Amino acid sequence: MSPHHRRTLVVAGHGMVGHRFVQAAIERGLTETHDLVVVGDEPRAAYDRVALTSFFQVGADELSFLPTGAYDDPRVRLLTGTEVEGFDPETRTVLLSGGDVIGYDELVLATGAAPFVPPIPGHDLPGCFVYRTIEDLEAIREAAATATVGAVIGGGLLGLEAANALAQLGLETHVVEMAPRLMAVQVDDAGGATLTRHIEQLGLTVHTGAATERVLGDDRVTGLALRGTDPIDAGIVVFSAGIRPRDRLACDAGLDLAERGGVLVDERCHTSAEHVWAIGECAAPSGRMYGLVAPGYAMAEVVVDALLGGPGSFTGADMSTKLKLMGVDVASFGDAHAATEGALELVFSDAVAGIYKKLVVSADGRQLLGGVLVGDASAYGVLRPMVASGIELPDNPEDLILPAGRGVPEIELPDEAQVCSCNDVSKADIVAAAAEGGTTRAGTTCGSCKVQTKKIIEDYYASQGKVVDRSICEHFPLTRQELFDVVAVHGHRSFDQIVEAHGTGRGCDICKPAIASILASQLNGHVLDGGNRTLQDTNDAYLANIQRNGTYSVVPRIPGGEITPDKLIVIGEVARDFDLYTKITGGQRIDLFGARMEQLPAIWRRLVDAGFESGHAYGKSLRTVKSCVGSTWCRYGVQDSTQLAIDLEQRYRGLRSPHKLKGGVSGCARECAEARGKDFGVIATENGWNLYVGGNGGATPAHAQLLAGDLDRGTLLRYLDRYLMYYIRTADRLQRTAPWIDSLDGGLDRVREVVVDDALGLGSELEAAMERHVDTYFDEWQATLDDPEKLARFVSFVNAPDTPDPHITFRAERDQIAPADSAGPVSLGATIPVGAPQ
Amino acid sequence: MTGWVPVCRLDQIEVEGGVAALVEGAAVAIFRTHDGNVYAMSNYDPCSQASVLARGIVGTRGEVPFVASPMHKQAFDLRTGQCLDDAEVRVTTYDVRVDDGLVLVGPPQES
């Protein structure tokens, strides 16, 4: 074989593990020598199955690992909606469902696992589902529209996830578990009982020790018959009774399988056939299958390593888990069931608070072997690495699980302690990355090690004698929050005052817009008032959004997305008369693109006369409050979401903030307004409104989390006022609400303390600040039109106000204008008259 | 280009602001800094290929007076047109003077 021969590597399966394999292959250079063909049978590219339940809030796109549907590396070809029907190790070929046959040099099986459906009578009736793919969830959602009660068979990790999903869909939900407790694999009897109490408090019904004898119903599901007790009425049944490796391909090809299923592989994840490897849930290293994503990721890395000639091996995996199930912390790590000979158990249990913690320690009391945490898993970050690295326990190990405030001992983790088990990142890796200014994957998969990772990085900097410099820029030795306070305390009203008193130089494009925003939040003057104008980024300076050719887009406010036909016609007429490109945005508004700067006042005049206001699409300010049609039109709506969205958008319009702000209001739990993708999201319940905070789309999407539930309108407004003002006062420059909440000591709980419990006593002050904003609101477009001085700047050239900038040219695309590519500086030639100064 | 072209009154340019002017067919950005100096450079931002520099934020980096392009925030030294973020990039600067409250733009400066 010539050294230039490129080899073909086929990956069968594109789930989380298959995707990680491809990622590692690209990152580590395997695609320099190999062409990858990745075959996935689902209709879409790999997505975050661990976060599957959030599909109902965020939709499929947000879960996707490959939103574009393709890898950046052209040497990787991804075939979705395609099955590998079989392969032949002799001829090294795979047969695809379309009939294509592909030759391979190496084959990696990453076909995962399938849900196990026990063969009880009625298991295949319509209304029976499994819980594995986005398509499963879509089917469940559809069925939930006409059902009122759902039952989940299986009280393990996935079963509880599925139950959570049914409850979110508004169903009365039952969990049926054959074992005497929930999560039997991970937790012990007492932990399971604590978990059951938590889940029952949320309104679900838990049946443990309950064997399902048959699924009831003639042509569709009507309920479950349980042995020795009354049947349950249910219109939906979800099976979550464990998984089985998808090893059929290997079986058909004559490969060795493990006794209990799964493709038998050695410690390099190589199967019994030459050039065939298996990773993830379809594989069984040393005969054991691993039903978690972290071991699958580790296997993916091992095979990439092997194909690069490296020494990697897979020698078992940490089966620790930490998760938040319906708001309840549950963690299990190491030898959770005290199976080690002579192991001792230390237990702390507070039935009132719903907290159960257990440590399993060695017979001599020196080593931590494992543990279970329910209700409060904050100690997980320290405890799990202690097990993995064998670090010796302190003299009073019970302190590790006693409630905070009893003097939890500081444990210094050894360098080799594995902090992130999903991505196998050690403390030493994190310290090394911090030293080099790089990053690791720690905290990016399940997130349970985030707090620990942050602490290690902070400790590292402290050990270097470094103070983390949070200065906003070279001109101010202050954070944005400190600047905000300085301005408030001293009552500064201009940039000049602030820079003279607290800064150096004349400012820059970082500090000037930040100070403009701070002044706007506190004084709510016009952004174009004297002295303010030169602080503004171009969008604020021209009250429109600059686009790639130097033109602007204009976005009138359409509160809640509701618009009359007359107003819709005005927008159309303006767009037609000024030849603007129009597009309906994701925020339920209409963007008008391609306006030259000198055209802006005339465009606003038409819009303002028709009753429109500025939509602040340009500002770091409130953009939109998206809504569904709510109870007025929707057959599912339980509240008038449109009215509330309009009211909220009107209330917070013009509010300047550290980053743009978006809101959403949904009229029922179906969440058509995608409110949980917003900085604040409101979802109607039968009893009022649930308030979610800290969501956003963008480059790092985040789901909003529940701050408070079943609020009446007055309380909702009060909490929102406080939340938004608290954010505006304390966030960093350009910090969105999700990372801001993460950055607070205590995170969401801290926000709740301040906003709901009013722990700082700031509530009325924050509300008053918002009231001032509401009272002083004015439309910036109208105010600009009314002021000749402000208008004077809206000219193409100071000495030729109406001569269009010759750089701006358009071409046609899909019957509208689009920016033409610039050909460099353009000269109008000497024939253009240059007027005398006015 | 010959001679000096009057373009506007000094008070038409805000302190730490800019205006665009047409000078012999070319778009020129004219800036006024806090210390009373006036600078002129081509309005065309080579990084974003749009004629926008007059709309940027004016400030200082150390002792250097600069304008940040409103498009992608590259900084340009007002005195020399040198891009402070990319040694390869420079925009043409123009002679400029203020006469009796009138701003006059002269020929492009040789680099």
What is the model's pTM? 0.56
Q: Which amino acid is at A527?
A: V
At which residue do the structure tokens 């012999």 appear?
A: B24
Encoded tokens for A812 = 């046609």
Q: Which of A448, A397, A400 is nearest to A423 (CA)?
A: A448
Three-class DSSP category at A651: helix
Euclidean distance between CA atoms A6 and A28, whole angstroms: 16
- Give tens-digit pLDDT for A446-504: 666 776 777 777 777 777 776 666 688 889 988 888 899 888 888 888 999 999 999 99
In A105-118, which positions are buried (b, 16+ CB within 10 angstroms) versus exposed (e)? bbbbbbbbbbbebe
3-state secondary structure A365-387: CCEEEEEEEECCCCCHHHHHHHH
| Across A247-256, average pLDDT | 95
CA angle B65, B71, B74 (to 5 degrees): 40
**Structure confidence at residue A834 (pLDDT):** 36
**Structure confidence at residue A829 (pLDDT):** 43
- Last residue within a domain, chosen from A241, A265, A296: A241
Beta bridge partner(s), residue B29: B20, B41
A124 and A233 in a common domain? yes
User: Hey, are the CB atoms on B22 and A832 less than 8 Å from each other?
Assistant: yes
Is A135 domain-assigned? yes
Q: How confident is the model at residue A698 (pLDDT cuts 50, 70, 90)?
A: confident
Q: How many residues does chain B have?
A: 111
Is A451 domain-assigned? no
Write the CATH number for A75: 3.50.50.60
φ, ψ of residue A551 to 5 degrees: the values are -85, 175
At which residue do the structure tokens 């196998």 appear?
A: A424
A773 and A635 in a common domain? yes
Q: Under 8 Å CB-to-CB from A581, ≥6 apart: which residues?
A: A575, A592, A593, A594, A816, A817, A818
For the cut 60, the answer to whether the pLDDT of residue A409 exceeds it is no
* Interface residue of B5, B35, B37, B57 to substitute, partner A, most A CBs within 10 Å: B57
CATH number of B5-105: 2.102.10.10
User: Hey, are the CB atoms on B23 and A834 less than 8 Å from each other?
Assistant: yes
- Give tens-digit pLDDT for B24-36: 889 999 999 999 9
Q: How confident is the model at residue A565 (pLDDT cuts 50, 70, 90)?
A: very high
Q: Which of A535, A797, A830 sits opposite B24 (nearest CB)?
A: A830
Task: State percent of chain A over pLDDT 70.
Answer: 94
Question: ipTM more than 0.85?
Answer: yes
**Structure confidence at residue B1 (pLDDT):** 45
Is A628 domain-assigned? yes
| B44 min Cα distance to partner chain A (Å) | 6
Q: Is A315 exposed, middle or buried (0-12, 13-18, 19+ CB in 10 A)?
A: exposed
- Last residue within a domain, chosen from A411, A427, A443: A411
At which residue do the structure tokens 């009211």 appear?
A: A647
Three-class DSSP category at A565: helix
| B111 min Cα distance to partner chain A (Å) | 17
Three-class DSSP category at A326: coil
Alpha-carbon distance values, A11 to A39, A106, A277 (Å):
6, 9, 9
Is A2 domain-assigned? no
Euclidean distance between CA atoms A229 and A215, whole angstroms: 14
A603 and A533 in a common domain? no
Average pLDDT in chain B: 93
- Give tens-digit pLDDT for A187-223: 888 888 988 988 898 889 999 999 999 999 999 999 9
At which residue do the structure tokens 């200014």 appear?
A: A437
Q: How many domains does chain A have?
A: 7
In A169-200, which positions are buried (b, 16+ CB within 10 angstroms) versus exposed (e)? bbbbbbbbbbbebbbbebbbebbbbbbbbbbe
Q: Which of A191, A475, A226 is nearest to A358 (CA)?
A: A191
A729 and A639 in a common domain? yes
Q: Under 8 Å CB-to-CB from A459, ≥6 apart: which residues?
A: none
Average pLDDT in chain A: 88
The verdict on B19 touching A (C-beta cutoff 8 Å) is yes
Chain B residues touching residue A546 (CB < 8 angstroms) = 52, 55, 70-71
User: Hey, are the CB atoms on B57 and A831 less than 8 Å from each other?
Assistant: no
The verdict on B106 touching A (C-beta cutoff 8 Å) is no
A262 and A232 in a common domain? no
Answer whether A554's CB lies under 8 Å from A580's CB: yes
| A486 min Cα distance to partner chain B (Å) | 21
Q: Which of A32, A13, A50 is nearest to A444 (CA)?
A: A50
A818 and A787 in a common domain? no
H or E element that contains A832: none
User: Hey, are the CB atoms on A824 and B62 less than 8 Å from each other?
Assistant: no
A355 and A269 in a common domain? no
A758 and A646 in a common domain? yes
Q: How confident is the model at residue A428 (pLDDT cuts 50, 70, 90)?
A: confident
At which residue do the structure tokens 């465009």 appear?
A: A603
Is A430 domain-assigned? no
For A588, how many CA atoms within 13 A lie in the half-sphere containing its CB?
25
Answer whether A752's CB lies under 8 Å from A745's CB: no
Euclidean distance between CA atoms A337 and A192, whole angstroms: 12
User: Hey, are the CB atoms on A807 and B51 less than 8 Å from each other?
Assistant: yes
Is A470 domain-assigned? no
A165 and A110 in a common domain? no
Euclidean distance between CA atoms A427 and A421, whole angstroms: 11
Q: E strands along B24-92, which residues?
A: 26-32, 38-42, 44-45, 50-51, 57-61, 64-68, 75-77
Encoded tokens for A828 = 């109008």
Looking only at the bridges linking them, the beta strands covering A705-711 and A101-103 are unpaired
H or E element that contains A203: none
Chain B residues touching residue A834 (CB < 8 angstroms) = 5, 7, 22-24
Chain B residues touching residue A541 (CB < 8 angstroms) = 55
Tell me which DSSP letter residue A786 carries: T
A220 and A123 in a common domain? yes
The verdict on B32 touching A (C-beta cutoff 8 Å) is no
A127 and A110 in a common domain? no
Answer whether A282's CB lies under 8 Å from A245's CB: yes
Is A421 domain-assigned? no
Tell me which DSSP letter residue A686 carries: T
- Last residue within a domain, chosen from A411, A440, A472: A411
Write the CATH number for A664: 3.30.413.10
For the cut 90, the answer to whether the pLDDT of residue B64 exceeds it is yes
**Structure confidence at residue A838 (pLDDT):** 36
Tell me which DSSP letter residue A620 carries: S
At which residue do the structure tokens 């707090």 appear?
A: A451
A789 and A647 in a common domain? no
Euclidean distance between CA atoms A352 and B110, whole angstroms: 81
| Across B35-40, average pLDDT | 95
Q: Which amino acid is at A361?
A: V
H or E element that contains A643: helix A641-652
3-state secondary structure A225-280: EECCCCCEECCEEEECCCEEECCHHHHHCCCCECCCCCEEECCCCECCCCCEEECH
H or E element that contains A459: helix A450-463
| B36 min Cα distance to partner chain A (Å) | 13
Is A452 domain-assigned? no
- Give tens-digit pLDDT for A39-64: 999 999 999 888 888 888 778 888 89
User: Hey, are the CB atoms on B7 and A798 less than 8 Å from each other?
Assistant: yes
Largest CA distance in chain B: 37
Q: Under 8 Å CB-to-CB from A448, ≥6 apart: which residues?
A: A322, A323, A331, A377, A380, A381
| B79 min Cα distance to partner chain A (Å) | 16
Answer whether A559's CB lies under 8 Å from A645's CB: yes
Answer whether A303's CB lies under 8 Å from A108's CB: yes
For the cut 80, the answer to whether the pLDDT of residue A323 exceeds it is no
Residue-number span of the structural domain to which A638 is assigned: 620-778
**Structure confidence at residue A408 (pLDDT):** 40
Largest CA distance in chain A: 99
